[in-house]
Structure 1
Amino acid sequence: MFRPSKNSSRSLRVPRVLRTVFLVLLALVLLPYLLTPLYAVIDPPSTLTIWRRVTGERVEQTWVPLSRISPHLQLAVIVAEDGRFCTHYGIDLAEIQDAIQDADNLDDVRGGSTITQQVAKNLFLWPGRSLVRKALEAPLALWIDLVLSKRRILEIYLNVAEMGPQGEFGAEAGARRAFGRSARDLTSYQAALLAASLPNPVTRNAARPGPGLRRLAGLYVGRAAHAPGLASCVRAGR
């Protein structure tokens, strides 16, 4: 009776292991696409808040609907982060092209990240600037834009974005820490300060802004006053 040798048994196990690894990776890649439609009605956590809670770090977050976030902040964030938010389909090809042209090589590419891409990163991916993350982020952003409304995308972003230096996430926690008031009561200048701090709220302190942050906030106030239509898709509920 023929019995397989030990070597042949090992060779059979290797493809089985590879197949299992492949299926696990495929499931991880597909999971965000399955979860995204649910987030039209379910308030999602971000990967960073999950990680901070698991590791025992501080998280302060109060989820609020967009109707309870100042229109000043909604517009300021669009002005600061994604001026073509209402017209693109999740990724801004013009911004990406400009970012590539301004970089010496692909490893130096910066910018070009839309609000929708940041939502994809915050909900499903990890921080950093690797090309692998960007490659996963772009199709996810297109999918998010397809299945969620612009209003819902901005609502999610304003509730999961890091907005304070001590574990404050979302507009409500960020506004209360920086200004001692609710997100719905922010003035145009306070909203602009929060928007200007978004790239790195740990070093850009909206509560005690330096000259650079104040200048940037003033610039956003001016742009918002001259371009209120940048948030038209959010106000229309599209």
Structure 2
Amino acid sequence: MFRVAKFLLTIVLGFIALSLIPVLIYRFAPVPVTLTMLMDEHGWTKDWEPLSNIDRDLVRAVIAAEDGKFCQHNGFDTEAIGQAIEERLAGERERGASTISQQTAKNVFLWQGGGFFRKGLEAWFTFLIEHLWGKRRIMEVYLNVAETGIGTYGAEAGAQRYFNKSAASLSPAEAARLAAILPSPKTRAVVNPGGFTRRYGNTIAARIGVVRRDGLDACVYS
């Protein structure tokens, strides 16, 4: 039993050490590529930009669209998770409960798809980046690795593809339209969007003002 316990402890400590290495590296260095990019049959186009070169309205737009409590939670929105569990038990359509922090952890260190094993790893990496990166870095990485179209990753590549301009100079409407496709970037259109995406983009554009007024992006710029 002692040998088994020692072996298991070695495995656990080894995993912790190995997982800390990339987290610490990406605390400062740009993420060069992700598994999602490598597995994309369309290849990938990306252009890393520091957060200072990304329009603040895009930050507000993704907070409004993806995670209104980004500056309040520690990586996990427990209320949203509870609602998702209730909906699953009731057999209803389950809404997304992943925070921007969780999505960043998944996009950078893991693969797409579900499963309890991947979810467990996602929770671990979310814990690490919340404590070792901080909110500003999480947002910066998220906006540089999120899929923004077929074979397109990051805010800069998305802005250039759809609007022929830098992510630093997006209008509120453009930022909202880019944020509106994030849940399904391969099927939703930024240019001449359909009914749902157009309405959703308009809703996000209105919420940008709420994020600004209520300081819901304060943790990113403090």
Task: Flag structure 2 segments of 5+ consecutive residues without an equivalent.
Answer: 1-6
Alpha-carbon offset, residue 78 of structure 1: 0.8
CA distance in 2, matches of 1:148, 1:164: 27
Residue 58 (1) aligns with residue 43 (2): yes
CA distance in 1, matches of 2:95, 2:124: 18
Q: What does residue 91 of structure 1 align with? A: 76
Q: What does residue 15 of structure 1 align with? A: none
Residue 235 (1) aligns with residue 221 (2): yes
Amino acid at match of 1:175: A
Residue 49 (1) aligns with residue 37 (2): yes
Residue 173 (1) aligns with residue 157 (2): yes
CA distance in 1, matches of 2:95, 2:120: 14
Q: Which stretch shows the higher mean deviation, 63-72 or 93-102? A: 93-102
- Over the residues paired in the alignment, what is the CA RMSD in angstroms? 2.4
Alpha-carbon offset, residue 104 of structure 1: 2.6
Equivalent residue for 2:55, pick from 60, 70, 77: 70
Q: Flag as ranges the 4+ runs of structure 1 deviating above 3 A.
A: 25-30
Equivalent residue for 2:128, pick from 120, 143, 160: 143
Residue 35 (1) aligns with residue 19 (2): no
Q: What does residue 4 of structure 1 align with? A: none
Q: What does residue 171 of structure 2 align with? A: 187
Give the secondary-structure state (helix, strand or coil) at the position aligned to 2:107. helix
Amino acid at match of 1:231: D
| TM-score (normalised: structure 1) | 0.82
Query: How many equivalent pairs are there?
Result: 212
Alpha-carbon offset, residue 208 of structure 1: 2.8
CA distance in 1, matches of 2:129, 2:71: 14
Q: Deviations over 1:133-179 (max 9, x none)?
A: 112211221111000021110000000000012x1100000111111
CA distance in 2, matches of 1:136, 1:192: 31
Identity %: 41
Equivalent residue for 2:208, pick from 224, 232, 236: 224
Equivalent residue for 1:115, pick from 94, 100, 107: 100
Alpha-carbon offset, residue 227 of structure 1: 2.7
Larger gyration radius, structure 1 or structure 2: 1
Residue 163 (1) aligns with residue 121 (2): no
Amino acid at match of 1:71: R
Q: What does residue 198 of structure 1 align with? A: 182
Give the secondary-structure state (helix, strand or coil) at the position aligned to 1:126. coil
Amino acid at match of 1:226: V
Residue 100 (1) aligns with residue 88 (2): no
Alpha carbons 1:103, 1:110 under 8 Å: kept? no
Give the secondary-structure state (helix, strand or coil) at the position aligned to 2:124. helix
Alpha-carbon offset, residue 51 of structure 1: 3.4
CA distance in 2, matches of 1:109, 1:204: 20
Give the secondary-structure state (helix, strand or coil) at the position aligned to 1:103. helix
Q: What does residue 4 of structure 2 align with? A: none
| TM-score (normalised: structure 2) | 0.87
Q: Deviations over 1:162-216 (max 9, x none)?
A: 0012x11000001111111111111101101110100111101112311111100
CA distance in 1, matches of 2:27, 2:124: 18
CA distance in 1, matches of 2:57, 2:210: 13
CA distance in 1, matches of 2:165, 2:181: 17
CA distance in 2, matches of 1:99, 1:30: 32
CA distance in 2, matches of 1:116, 1:196: 18
Q: What does residue 9 of structure 1 align with? A: none
Amino acid at match of 1:98: Q
